Chain A
Amino acid sequence: MAAVDRLAAAQMLYIGQNLADAHAMVPDLTAREIDLPLLEAAFGIFADWHSNASPLVAVMNDMNAYGDLVLDITGVSHLFGSELAMLRTMVLRLRQLGYAADGAVASTIGAAWAASHFAPNRVVAADQTGSLLDGLSVAALRLLPMQIAGLTQMGLKQIGQLRGRDRKGLQARFGASLIMRIDQAYGYLEERMTPRLPIAERYAERKFPDPIGLMDDVLMTTHDLGIQLGIRLESEGLGAQAFHLFLYRVDHKVMTLSVNAGSPTREPGHIARLFANRAERLQGEYDAGFGIDMIRLAASSVSPLEASQLGAFSRQDGTDLGRLYDRMSSRLGMFSVVRSAFVDTHIPERAVRLEPVIARSADNPASMPDPEQERPLRLLPMPEPIGITAEVPDGPPMAMTWRRVSYRFVKAEGPERLNAEWWRSGQRLVLVPPATPQELEELKKLGKTPPYIPNVPLFYTWNAVRDYYVAEDAGGRRFWLFRLGIYGVAPNPTWYLHGFFS
Chain B
Amino acid sequence: MSEVVPFTGSPGKALAVPPAPAFTELVTTSNFSFLRSGSHPEELVSGAMYLGLNGVGLCDRNSFAGVVRGFVTARERDERFADFRYLVGVRLCFADGTPDIVAYPSNRVAYGRLCKLLTIANQNGEKGKPLLNLTDLLASGGPVASNAQQGPTENFGLGQLFILIPDERNWPLTETVLGALAQHFPGNVWVAGVARYLGRDRARLGRTADLGRRCGVPMLASNDVLYHDPDRAILQDVVTCIREHLTLETAGRRLQANAERHLKPRDEMARLFAEHPEAIAQTQRFSERIGFSLNQLEYNYPEETIGNGETAQQTLERLAWAGAAKRFPQGVPADIAANIETELQLIDEKLYAAYFLTVHDIVHYARYELDILCQGRGSAANSTVCYCLEITEVNPRKANLVFGRFISTERDEPPDIDVDFEHERREEVMQYVYKKYGGKRTGLTANVICYRSKSAIRETAKVFGVSDDTITAFNQLHWGWGSSVDLRNVAGIGLNPDDPVLAQMFEVVKVLRSFPRHLSQHVGGFVITRDSLESMVPISKSAMETRTIIEWNKDDIDALKILKVDVLALGMLTCLQRAFGLMETHYKQTVKLADLQNEEFDHPKRAVPVYEMIQRADTIGVFQIESRAQMSMLPRLKPKIFYDLVIEVAIVRPGPIQGGMVHPYLKRRDGTDPWKADPDDPLDKVLEKTLGIPLFQEQAMQMAIKGAGFTPGEADQLRRAMAAWKRTGRISIFKERFINGMMNNPKRSYSREFAERCFSQIEGFAEYGFPESHAASFALLVYASCWLKCHYPDVFLCALLNSQPMGFYAPSQLARDAAEHGVEIRAADINYSGYDSSLEEDGWPIGEHVWPKHAVMQNDIRSDKALRLGLRQVEGLAKKDILRIVEQRGAGYASIRDLWLRTGVPVASLEKLARADAFASSLKLNRREALWAVKGLIGSHGAETLPLFAASGLPSALAIEEAGNLPLMSPGEEVIHDYASLTLSLKGHPVQFMRPMLNARGTTRACNLSTVADGHRIEVAGLVLVRQRPGTASGVIFVTLEDETGVANLVVWPKLFENDEMRRTLLSSRMLAVKGKVQKEGLVIHVIVEDMMDLTPQLLAISNGADIGDAVVARADEGKSGPPVSSSRDRHVLREEEMVRRRARAALPGGRNFH
Contact = CB atoms under 8 A, between A and B. Distances in A.
Interface of A: 3-4, 6, 9-10, 14-21, 23-25, 27-29, 63, 67, 88, 91, 100-102, 116-122, 135-139, 145, 148-150, 152-158, 161, 166, 169, 172-173, 343-346, 366-367, 370, 372-374, 391-393, 395-396, 398, 411-419, 421-423, 425-432, 449, 451-452, 454-456, 459, 461, 465, 468, 470, 472, 487-489
A363 to B, nearest CB: 14
Interface string B231-243: 1111101000000
A137 B1136 contact: yes
28 contacts: A20-B493, A122-B1122, A135-B1117, A137-B1136, A139-B1132, A154-B928, A154-B932, A155-B928, A155-B966, A155-B968, A367-B252, A412-B1, A413-B1, A413-B202, A415-B197, A416-B197, A417-B257, A422-B234, A423-B501, A427-B500, A427-B504, A432-B507, A452-B488, A452-B497, A454-B498, A456-B500, A465-B259, A470-B1
Contact of A413 (B12, B199, B464, B938): B199
A122 B258 contact: no
B1126 A16 contact: no
A323 B445 CA distance: 68
Contacts of A372: 169
Interface in B456-479: 464, 469-470, 472-473, 476
A401 B1061 CA distance: 65
B993 to A, nearest CB: 17
B970 to A, nearest CB: 10
Ranked nearest first, the 7 interchain pairs of A and B with the lowest CB-CB distance are A344-B252, A416-B199, A488-B12, A411-B1, A20-B473, A155-B967, A121-B1123
B288 interface: no
A456 B1040 CA distance: 43
Contact of A9 (B12, B249, B1117, B1128): B1128
Contact of A374 (B199, B202, B252, B968): B199
B75 to A, nearest CB: 25
Interface stretch (B3-11, B558-566, B607-615): B3-11
B1093 to A, nearest CB: 15
Contact of A27 (B169, B234, B493): B493
Which of A25, A373, A417 has most chain B Cβ within 10 Å?
A417
A129 B812 CA distance: 47
Nearest to B495: A23
B493 A166 contact: no
B507 to A, nearest CB: 4
B508 interface: yes
Contacts of A346: 252-253, 255, 257
Interface stretch (B61-69, B134-142, B821-829, B1138-1146): B1138-1146
Contacts of A166: 962
Nearest to A487: B10
B1 A472 contact: yes
Given A117-B1130, A152-B1140, A431 B486 contact: no
Interface of B: 1-5, 7, 10-12, 14, 169, 197-200, 202, 230-235, 237, 248-250, 252-260, 464, 469-470, 472-473, 476, 486-488, 492-494, 497-504, 507-508, 510-511, 915, 928, 931-932, 935-936, 938, 962, 964, 966-969, 1060, 1064, 1068, 1108, 1110-1111, 1113-1114, 1117-1118, 1121-1136, 1138-1140, 1143
Nearest to B496: A454
Given A119-B1121, A396-B4, A23 B493 contact: yes
A64 to B, nearest CB: 9
A452 B486 CA distance: 7
B1136 A139 contact: yes
A53 B1095 CA distance: 48
Given A135-B1117, A415-B197, A393 B253 contact: no
A480 to B, nearest CB: 11
Contacts of A416: 197-200, 257
A415 B199 contact: yes
Contacts of A419: 233, 256-259
A391 B499 CA distance: 40
B937 to A, nearest CB: 9
A343 B493 contact: no
A102 B1123 CA distance: 10
Nearest to A423: B248
Contact of B487 (A9, A415, A452): A452
Contacts of B494: 23, 27-29
Contacts of A396: 2, 4-5
Main secondary structure of the interface of A (DSSP, over half): loop
Given A63-B1132, A149-B1143, A120 B1126 contact: yes
Given A100-B1127, A488-B11, A118 B1114 contact: yes
Given A117-B1133, A122-B1123, 14 more contacts: A17-B1138, A25-B1064, A91-B1124, A100-B1127, A120-B1123, A121-B1125, A154-B964, A161-B967, A370-B253, A392-B10, A417-B260, A423-B237, A454-B500, A488-B12
A148 B1135 contact: no
B508 A431 contact: yes
A417 B197 CA distance: 5
B40 to A, nearest CB: 13
B252 A345 contact: yes
Nearest to A446: B1034
B4 A398 contact: yes
A119 B464 CA distance: 48
B199 A451 contact: no
B258 A431 contact: no
A345 B254 CA distance: 9
Contacts of B915: 153
Contacts of A116: 1130
A409 B368 CA distance: 89
A257 B1133 CA distance: 40
A40 to B, nearest CB: 16
A412 B1135 contact: no
Given A20-B473, A454-B503, A153 B931 contact: yes
A19 B469 contact: yes
B2 A461 contact: no
A497 B12 CA distance: 26
A429 B504 contact: yes
Contacts of A392: 7, 10
A461 B231 contact: yes
A397 B1126 CA distance: 77
A28 B488 CA distance: 16
Contacts of B255: 346
A373 to B, nearest CB: 7
A138 B1140 CA distance: 13
B1121 A24 contact: no
B246 to A, nearest CB: 10
A150 B724 CA distance: 56
A333 B1125 CA distance: 49
Contacts of B1130: 102, 116-118, 120
Contacts of B1114: 118-119, 136-137
A157 B970 CA distance: 14
B1127 A173 contact: no
A9 B968 contact: no
Nearest to A157: B1110
A119 B469 contact: no
B258 A417 contact: yes
Contacts of B507: 428-432
Contacts of A427: 500, 504
A15 B1134 contact: yes
B258 A145 contact: no
A370 B199 CA distance: 13
Contacts of A117: 1130, 1132-1133
A395 B1064 contact: no
Nearest to B500: A426
A454 B487 contact: yes
Nearest to B973: A155
A454 B502 contact: yes
B504 A428 contact: yes
